[in-house]
């Protein structure tokens, strides 16, 4: 299934995308798509409903983040071998883990704000993993059972804040709107192999990123298991799993985003995003 949230910011309703691409209202079934409702049991209940029996949503509503109010937004750094080479950095002996503030989460097509004082705002198309049940000390062999589904994310980053201001990466990752997520939460049964998905990102019509989850250093199952050693994972938590090569920082000369630029990105089977850059 492809589950989503639609409507004005702060007033999103849960929805289902049917086979014809029509949004169906799930408000009579669940209150929202959030940590309180993301579970195998809820998804089984929705799957048993005939989509045609649900009200069709008219018009072209705004699409919100496919997860409302996530408890954690965890990111994995330098997790693609070809991106690490592009950055001139050694492959990490263990996953690099950092957080993005949940206040950065926004809809997949919302405007992206360039922060005040920014000189190096950059892009990163990534595979998002949404946790579906409490996970603690999970074996890698069982890890995918704890995944509710997958989504498209753009790990928007301010490289000067991230790398030149000392301290942790979170400063360059957490500005408002730096976490566009969605359009859909695609349930795990529809993603046969999360390690074989093509992914791309364009800026102003130019293809910069053209990669595949095949080149991940640490795959989804390992990452979920690994993280569960250090913290419990909860329903609705989002893990953004790293980016392939082609980021602005890796260009020669480097390219960074400016007001008026447009980003478009997508992952096979998980939909697309479209964002305009505005000055924050």
Average pLDDT over residues 227-251: 97
Q: Is the pLDDT of residue 88 over 90?
A: no
Q: Are 143 and 221 in contact (CB under 8 A)?
A: yes
Instruction: Compute the mean pLDDT over every residue in the chain, rounded to the nearest whole number.
Output: 96
User: pLDDT-based confidence at 84, cuts 50/70/90?
Assistant: confident
Average pLDDT over residues 43-54: 98
Of 267, 48, 264, nearest to 149 by C-alpha is 267
Give the angle subtended at the CA of 79 by the CAs of 77 and 80, to the nearest 5°. 135
User: pTM score > 0.95 for this model?
Assistant: yes
The string of pLDDT tens digits covering residues 197-226 is 999 999 999 999 999 999 999 999 999 999
Per-residue model confidence (pLDDT) at position 89: 75
Domains and CATH numbers, the chain: 2-53 (no CATH), 73-279 (3.90.850.10)
CB neighbour class for 214 (10 Å; exposed up to 12, middle 13-18, buried from 19): middle
């Amino acid at each position: 299934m492809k589950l989503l949230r639609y409507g004005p910011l702060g007033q999103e309703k849960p929805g289902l995308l049917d086979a014809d691409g029509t949004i169906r209202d799930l408000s009579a079934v669940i209150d929202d798509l959030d940590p309180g409702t993301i579970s195998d049991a809820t998804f089984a209940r929705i799957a048993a409903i005939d989509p045609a029996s649900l009200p069709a949503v008219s018009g072209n509503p705004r699409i919100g983040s496919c997860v409302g109010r996530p408890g954690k937004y965890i990111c994995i750094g330098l997790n693609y071998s070809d991106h690490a080479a592009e950055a001139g950095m050694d492959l990490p002996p263990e996953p690099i883990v950092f957080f993005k503030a949940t206040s950065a989460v926004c809809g997949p097509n919302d405007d992206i704000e360039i922060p005040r004082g920014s000189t190096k705002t950059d892009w990163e198309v990534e595979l998002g993993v949404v946790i579906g049940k409490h996970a603690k000390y999970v074996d890698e062999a069982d890890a995918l059972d704890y995944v509710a589904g997958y989504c498209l994310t753009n790990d928007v980053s301010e490289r000067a804040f991230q790398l030149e201001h000392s301290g942790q990466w979170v400063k360059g990752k957490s500005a408002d709107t730096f976490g566009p997520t969605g359009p859909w939460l695609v349930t795990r049964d529809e993603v046969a192999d999360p390690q074989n998905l093509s992914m791309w990102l364009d800026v102003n019509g130019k293809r910069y990123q053209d990669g595949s989850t095949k080149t991940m250093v640490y795959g989804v199952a390992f990452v979920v298991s690994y993280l569960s050693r250090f913290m419990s994972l909860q329903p609705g938590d989002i893990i953004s799993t790293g980016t392939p090569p082609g980021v602005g920082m890796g260009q020669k000369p480097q390219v960074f985003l400016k007001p008026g630029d447009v980003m478009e990105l997508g992952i096979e089977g998980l939909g697309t995003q479209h964002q305009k850059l505005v000055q924050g």
